[in-house]
């Protein structure tokens, strides 16, 4: 549900902020998001795999993500 609203609102907001270069700006935003995901997903996956707590390996990360 959150992703669907972002797919609609981000391009509209970029068009408001930078009407002349909206395509370039939106492309830059998407590329930076993908770059962050390429680094963050393996990093937090590894941290999640190495977590040891009395609540389990994944539960602290799930609660923290909420």
DSSP one-letter code for 59: H
Count up the domains in the chain and report the number.
1
Q: What tens digit of pLDDT does each residue of 7-40 get?
A: 899 999 999 999 999 999 999 999 999 999 999 9
| pLDDT range class, residue 1, cuts 50, 70, 90 | low
0.85 exceeded by the pTM? no
- Residue 64's nearest CA partner among 49, 50, 44, 46 is 44
Given this model, what pLDDT does residue 47 score?
A: 92
Q: So what's the pLDDT on residue 2? A: 75
Q: What is the pLDDT of residue 6?
A: 86
Closest by CA to 14, choosing from 28, 34, 32, 33, is: 28
- Residue-range definition of the domain harbouring residue 31: 2-65
């Amino acid at each position: 549900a959150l992703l669907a609203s972002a797919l609609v609102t981000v391009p509209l907001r970029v068009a408001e902020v930078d009407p002349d270069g909206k395509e370039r700006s939106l492309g830059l935003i998407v590329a930076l998001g993908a770059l962050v995901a390429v680094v963050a997903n393996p990093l937090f996956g590894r941290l999640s795999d190495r977590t040891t707590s009395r609540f389990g390996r994944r539960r602290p990360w799930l609660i923290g993500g909420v």
